[in-house]
Structure 1
Amino acid sequence: MAAAAALALASPLRRLLRAPHPRGAISAPYYGITRGRCSSAIAVAAAAARNSAMKGSVDRNAAEEVRNILDMAERASQLRDVFHTNFLTPPIIKEAMLAIEKLADIKAVAQGGYPQAERCRISVGHPDSMTSNPDVVAALSISGNFRLEPCSHGDFLGAILGTGITREKGERGAQVLVDPELVDYLISTLEKVGKVGVSCTQIPLLALEYEPPRTKSSKTVEASLRVDALASAGFKISRTKLASLISAGDVRVNWTPVLKNGVTLKSGDIVSVSGMGRLKIGEIVTTRKGKYAVELIRYL
């Protein structure tokens, strides 16, 4: 009864705690890469990451993160071992995977615990050492009787941080994703969320109750597929306003900052605007008058 009540209250709290560690668990989405050049190429790729930051395609912090991942890849290749990153944001995942793509003797796998996970850990290693996807994520369920004492995301986060795990190692939720080596520690240490006594148990990744993102679709007819035309329609702001956001570096396409209003979009592209959320470009149909009828999918 208590567990059922907890599940009903906890299940909407889908934002998951993620805590990284050198080794861990999963079999969800991944990208396998084994082509390119190596050791000296890693230095070239690292320099390219820094140059990308200088040119504005990635920010300096992301470039530094990518450089660190490339350094990790070099060590993994030399030692014939496998290393794992922390949970990374989509822009860093994209840049790191593109950089590693140019290297030989390196296999890279990005895993987040469930199919729609945006934040993932990257595992890098020599192909001979990484013959299967490494286990880098484990799932925990936190349950208790929250009927009289409802708890917020912050309550769950605070309880987990109270065990000594730093904020940099995770986010919050009633179901949490952590490094497998943290499982026993959290099970034995996490006793309360707010004033509610809780039990913490490991669950299979397939048992995660995650919600698909909520979206709202609309359509627009435009003379071009430029980012300023489609994004202004999708976010319902003027092209002038969008142009100023682009100039400020606040607009990204597929996680990469766009620097010009005239960038052309295609079906499947994701446009994100700082402070406004994300927009996916859906089906594009050319009208009889040569214009474009475009489906715009806004993430809520």
Structure 2
Amino acid sequence: MDTIYQHFRPDEKEFIDQVLSWKQFVEDTYAPKLTDFLDPRMQQIVETIIGTNSDIRLASFGGYLDAERKRMLLYPDYFQPNDDDFHLTLFEIQYPSKFVTIAHNHVLGSLMSLGVKREKYGDILIHDERIQFFITNEMSEYVKLEFKQIGKTTIQLIEKDMNDVISTREEWKEAITTVSSLRLDAILSAIYSISRQKTQMLINRGYVKVNWKVIEDPSFQCQEGDYFSVRGYGRSKLMSLEGKTKKEKWRITTGILK
């Protein structure tokens, strides 16, 4: 079993144990297991662990084609999953859009203040003045009853059909560059074209997240597939490692969310 952990970071052990328990559940009961919403890094871990197991199949759905956060379904080979098996509800927020502006973090903060854990709701979609979010069916009634305002603004939740989801396709601007090491400060410096000193300051202040976790260590070693979020600079990704140059620098492909 130890060999599995070698492929991941030490702080991911707890989640890996959870994935292994889901796998065991499906094997023991011969029944499907539905997860909560997982971020892309977690999805990657599940795919790595389950993907090689021929007895258990894997499906994922976050409410629409390009969803970032998704629920995953581990199931035995007899089972035929469809979208309804992911138990999702889509809500649209009605608010006085002529008078107030509501941002992603306002919706996030309001849901968290109701005691709704982050793994219980998926992507928050904002396009023009429309705002939608996905939530697990088991939390939908509670949220419908309790979610009445964002800040001081009174809102109303309207349940929508899945086909009415807002279209917001993410686009990544890709670039190929070289870095002296895979340290976090070096990677961010290359992606955002800012000095190592500036990236170190941002990291030390807690302004940087790697795979949705705050990282305050500039020497943190990055890996292929890592997602970054830097306050004031937006989101990016280390898409691939292309090998080393003759001068022993890493050639990398990066992406910045447009």
Return the alpha-carbon distance in structure 2 between the equivalents of residues 232 and 131 of structure 1. 46
Post-superposition offset of 1:65: 0.7
For residues 232 and 183 of structure 1, do their structure 2 counterparts lie closer, same or farther at Cα, with a shift above 3 Å needed? closer
Return the alpha-carbon distance in structure 1 between the equivalents of residues 229 and 103 of structure 2. 25
Q: Contact 1:219–1:296 (CA<8 Å) still a contact in 2? A: yes
Return the alpha-carbon distance in structure 1 between the equivalents of residues 190 and 115 of structure 2. 46
Stretches of structure 1 lacking an aligned partner (at least 5 in a row): 1-43, 53-57, 256-271, 285-293
Counterpart position of 2:55: 105
User: Which structure is higher in strand share?
Assistant: 2
Counterpart position of 2:69: 119
Return the alpha-carbon distance in structure 1 between the equivalents of residues 239 and 6 of structure 2. 29
For residues 64 and 153 of structure 1, do their structure 2 counterparts lie closer, same or farther at Cα, with a shift above 3 Å needed? same
Q: Which amino acid aligns with 2:133?
A: V
Counterpart position of 2:223: 252
For residues 78 and 115 of structure 1, do their structure 2 counterparts lie closer, same or farther at Cα, with a shift above 3 Å needed? same
Counterpart position of 2:156: 199
Post-superposition offset of 1:233: 5.7
Q: Which of residues 74, 90, 94 is equivalent to 1:139?
A: 90
Q: Which amino acid aligns with 1:180?
A: N
For residues 106 and 231 of structure 1, do their structure 2 counterparts lie closer, same or farther at Cα, with a shift above 3 Å needed? same
Post-superposition offset of 1:68: 0.9
Report the secondary structure of 2:72's partner residue.
strand
Alpha-carbon RMSD? 4.0
Q: Contact 1:151–1:194 (CA<8 Å) still a contact in 2? A: no
Write the deviation string for residues 123-171 of structure 1: whole angstroms up to 9, x where unpaired. 112222x212322322111112232243343443344334442345346
Return the alpha-carbon distance in structure 1 between the equivalents of residues 150 and 218 of structure 2. 44
Report the secondary structure of 1:67's partner residue.
helix
TM superposition score normalised by structure 2:
0.66
Q: Which amino acid aligns with 1:147?
A: K
Counterpart position of 1:299: 257
Counterpart position of 1:92: 42
Return the alpha-carbon distance in structure 2 between the equivalents of residues 234 and 106 of structure 1. 38
Q: Which has the higher contact order (CA 8 A, sep 6+)?
A: 1
Return the alpha-carbon distance in structure 2 between the equivalents of residues 233 and 167 of structure 1. 31
Identity %: 19
How many residue pairs are counted as aligned between the two chains?
Answer: 219
For residues 299 and 153 of structure 1, do their structure 2 counterparts lie closer, same or farther at Cα, with a shift above 3 Å needed? closer
Q: Which of residues 112, 116, 121 is equivalent to 1:161?
A: 112
Return the alpha-carbon distance in structure 2 between the equivalents of residues 83 and 185 of structure 1. 23
Q: Contact 2:120–2:139 (CA<8 Å) still a contact in 1? A: no
